Amino acid sequence: MTSPAVPPAARPETRAASGQESAGPRHVGIIMDGNGRWAKARRLPRIAGHKSGVEAVRKVVEAAPDLGIEVLTLYAFSSENWKRPEDEVGYLMGLLKQYLLSEIAELDRNGVRLSFIGDYSRLSPDILALLEGAKTRTAGNTRLRLVIALNYGSQDEITRAVRSIAHDVAAGRMAPDAVTPADITARLDTAELPQLDLVIRTSGEQRLSNFLMWQAAYAELVFTEQYWPDFDGESLRRAVEAFGVRERRYGGL
């Protein structure tokens, strides 16, 4: 029996498989949850939690490179978060704008390359311009790749990938039976990123909420009770440490 192809989510692009043995995760995704509950516990409005959440972002971005993390993907706004009250959505968009405006110089100085995933074309033109500017300005940086998920949802991302394949099939560029998992992986927003190794979710919730579902096929999951605004470099270090003692088998032995 011939052994079937290694599934794309388990592509041997890891350092371990390439002989560069390392216990640490290369690509970490974080579901930054619990801002509202953090604020509620302090009798503050929900937006105060979001504001404090930006501080936590600053801390993890600073801590990540020293922990050996190459790519950090942060879930900032989901394709379902539009269901929230208009003023909260507006506040979150304002925070994003402010973050990009005030942090870009520092991020650039620190060698951080910014990119974005999700259907962010739906965001306002002024934010789109900032996203483009941030991408271009930091394109040559190599210390950390910071990926921000905006209007992101896995189901939407996979749907867009499938649509693109359907177009190729309809145009006769691809045979229906020739479609492989690798073709889907190659059409996802994360196509050029390394395999996702670790997903962290704060606030005690234990679900993916439409975050990197395809990519997380063989990722390790770490859940913490901490609300996002309380998360910091030390919390990230602990999650990386927990990852280090997991045994990844990818279905093998």
- Work out whether 81 is an interface residue with ligand IPE (CB under 6 A): yes
- Work out whether 199 is an interface residue with ligand IPE (CB under 6 A): no
State the minimum distance, in angstroms, from the CB of residue 109 to ligand IPE.
Answer: 27
Q: Is 108 designated active site?
A: no
State the minimum distance, in angstroms, from the CB of residue 32 to Mg ion.
Answer: 9
The single residue of 33, 35, 197, 210 carrying the catalytic annotation is 33
Q: Tell which phi-psi region holds residue 33, choosing left (phi > 0), alpha (psi between -120 and 50) or beta.
A: beta
- Work out whether 33 is an interface residue with Mg ion (CB under 5 A): yes
Query: Mapping DSSP to helix (H, G, I), strand (E, B) and coil, where does residue 106 land?
Result: helix
Q: For the window 116-155, what string marks contact with ligand IPE as x by the rule CB under 6 A?
A: ----------------------------------------
- Work out whether 34 is an interface residue with ligand IPE (CB under 6 A): yes
Q: Is 33 designated active site?
A: yes
**Could you tell me if 240 and 24 are in contact, meaning their C-beta atoms sit under 8 angstroms apart?**
yes
Helix (H) or strand (E) holding 113: strand 112-117
Q: Which is nearer to ligand IPE, 75 or 243 (CB)?
A: 75
DSSP 8-state assignment for residue 72: E
State the minimum distance, in angstroms, from the CB of residue 92 to ligand IPE.
Answer: 6
d(C-alpha 168, C-alpha 174), whole Å: 6
In the list 10, 14, 28, 31, the residue contacting ligand IPE (rule: CB under 6 A) is 31
Q: State which residue has the least CB distance to ligand IPE.
A: 36
The single residue of 35, 81, 141, 183 carrying the catalytic annotation is 81
CB atoms within 10 A of CB 228: 28
Q: Which is nearer to ligand IPE, 207 or 248 (CB)?
A: 207
State the minimum distance, in angstroms, from the CB of residue 208 to Mg ion.
Answer: 13
Q: Which is nearer to ligand IPE, 77 or 243 (CB)?
A: 77
In the list 37, 51, 59, 137, the residue contacting ligand IPE (rule: CB under 6 A) is 37
Q: 58-64: which pairs have CB atoms within 8 A and are 24 or more residues apart?
A: 58/103, 59/231, 59/232, 59/233, 59/236, 60/30, 60/231, 60/232, 60/233, 60/236, 61/107, 61/110, 61/112, 61/144, 61/146, 62/110, 62/233, 63/232, 63/233, 63/236, 63/237, 64/28, 64/144, 64/236
Query: One-letter amino acid identity for 34?
Result: G
- Work out whether 79 is an interface residue with ligand IPE (CB under 6 A): no
Crossing angle of helices 46-63 and 233-244, rounded to 10°? 60
- Work out whether 36 is an interface residue with ligand IPE (CB under 6 A): yes
What is the set of active-site residues?
33, 81
Residues that bind ligand IPE (CB under 6 A): 31-37, 75-78, 81, 92, 203, 205, 207, 209, 228
